[in-house]
Structure 1
């Protein structure tokens, strides 16, 4: 069981639960299926419904683990530590050895203990995953086909040409998610751009049709960041100088083009997590 583990990621540290609780054994974790939320409307005298936007509610992640102690006192100490570890004043990420490349943003769980004998106990911890989706453990800043943090079966494909930093006007961005990455659903998507454009430029995702336009002159020594729906030039909000649009990423490959007279691309970097249902 040495290869089975469970860890928490708070705002300032990673906690290995086995290291904190002597004798703890991670048994398994099972997420519930997605819960769809519809906004359909019915109209009197009209057949059927008018379909609205579909979203996803939080779902549950059931984690089972056991503790083998030496005596009753050691079990009491272990439970005291578990109460401290899993109950916090802020939400945190949970990840585990069954799916080591996936993390879940959870709130404090409901824990149900079952005493096996005087020196062992089995516990079920029921976590609510607040986002309604799970995410890749790492962002694309740390993308590597050779890294243990990225899993095949969770959007990873054997394409050595995948990269998230580009220096040309035409390029591809691979989204290994099982959903469109969009800031509207609070998915992280940060696009950092160093571009020389005497008359402004447009970043066009030809796959989705999205266009983000910066209307003024910009030099490649400036840094323009599109953080979700919020644009910043040299750390100053610059929405007034844009078309007030944002970029999304479809599943799979997205074809991009930088448009504009005299445009030269020094560097464009995409930072995001893959998201999963």
Structure 2
């Protein structure tokens, strides 16, 4: 198991004389808003929300003697007890990570040789996310056996285009919503008076009411819009572009596209 900090530093638990015995990743908890309707059996479900998830990991420590145990105990406590969030990555799924915080205190019981203990992590983001984003080079890594979990190589998997129509493949099993998840769209081209980006799969239509020259760059980042680094949100139709899981068919109208790039991370239930 790997601990990855926000500064990019990776800490392998093996360097702390730890072994992962097994871990449990339960399904996400659901919360339902219901109503009783007179004359109708059962409940009427009005809305459902995804709530939380706690990952539990059983670990084994190994020490040389009881004095080594005391040193190791302090190192283990410092490894997991952090005020800030961090990522955990399990080596049998190296393409995926979870943003977590320690859920509750844990105890490393004393033994001069070895003992097991359990650590629980609360998911800050309830979804697992791809370690690599779509701007990363797609390279086969024999140590990871898969690129973002896809066993089958896909030569058509692209996230940069120079045409007005294209397909974006979201290989995760969760929709990408820029109000909650990373999504950056960078567009260059020549547009006389407006830019219309249409995800025909979701039905989302984004409109920027302004021109673009060959020297301009339009960036949709989260819920914000920028032209050459300056906010142009007020010049848009205040709509967002989402990505459904699977294939998303896009068209861009109003001018000619020189390049358009999509950068995001796949999400996993």
1:266 aligned residue:
258
Greater Cα offset, 142-151 or 233-242: 142-151
Which residue of 212, 220, 235 corresponds with 1:218?
A: 212
Matched, 1:230 2:236: no
Q: Is the 8 A contact 2:4 2:87 kept in 1?
A: yes
| Whole-angstrom distance in 2 between the partners of 1:149 and 1:38 | 38
| Whole-angstrom distance in 1 between the partners of 2:113 and 2:75 | 16
Q: CA deviation at 1:72?
A: 0.9
1:123 aligned residue:
117
Q: CA deviation at 1:57?
A: 1.3
2:48 aligned residue:
54
Structure 2 segments unaligned to the other structure (5+ residues): none
Structure 1 segments unaligned to the other structure (5+ residues): 1-5
Over residues 112-145 of structure 1, what are the superposed CA-to-partner deviations in whole Å (9 max), with x where a residue is unaligned? Answer: 4464742212121111112221111111111525
Q: Is the 8 A contact 2:170 2:266 kept in 1?
A: yes
1:110 aligned residue:
104
Q: Is the 8 A contact 1:116 1:122 kept in 2?
A: no
| Whole-angstrom distance in 1 between the partners of 2:218 and 2:106 | 49
Alignment of 1:200-219 (within 5 A): 200-219=194-213
SS of equivalent residue, structure 2 residue 87: strand
1:178 aligned residue:
173
SS of equivalent residue, structure 2 residue 259: strand
Q: Is the 8 A contact 2:134 2:159 kept in 1?
A: yes
1:243 aligned residue:
237
User: Residues 128, 151 of structure 1: CA spacing in aligned structure 2 closer, same or farther, 3 A cutoff?
Assistant: farther
Q: Is the 8 A contact 1:87 1:109 kept in 2?
A: no
SS of equivalent residue, structure 1 residue 8: strand
User: Residues 52, 177 of structure 1: CA spacing in aligned structure 2 closer, same or farther, 3 A cutoff?
Assistant: farther
SS of equivalent residue, structure 2 residue 248: strand
Which residue of 53, 59, 63 corresponds with 1:69?
A: 63
SS of equivalent residue, structure 2 residue 193: coil
Matched, 1:190 2:184: yes
1:3 aligned residue:
none
Which residue of 11, 18, 24 corresponds with 1:16?
A: 11
Matched, 1:162 2:157: yes
User: Residues 114, 9 of structure 1: CA spacing in aligned structure 2 closer, same or farther, 3 A cutoff?
Assistant: closer
RMSD: 2.2
User: Residues 156, 181 of structure 1: CA spacing in aligned structure 2 closer, same or farther, 3 A cutoff?
Assistant: farther
Q: CA deviation at 1:225?
A: 1.2
Q: Is the 8 A contact 2:95 2:147 kept in 1?
A: no
2:246 aligned residue:
252
Greater Cα offset, 247-256 or 175-184: 175-184
Over residues 163-216 of structure 1, what are the superposed CA-to-partner deviations in whole Å (9 max), with x where a residue is unaligned? Answer: 0111111111000111211123x1111111112111111011111111111111
User: Residues 252, 157 of structure 1: CA spacing in aligned structure 2 closer, same or farther, 3 A cutoff?
Assistant: farther
Alignment size in residue pairs: 268
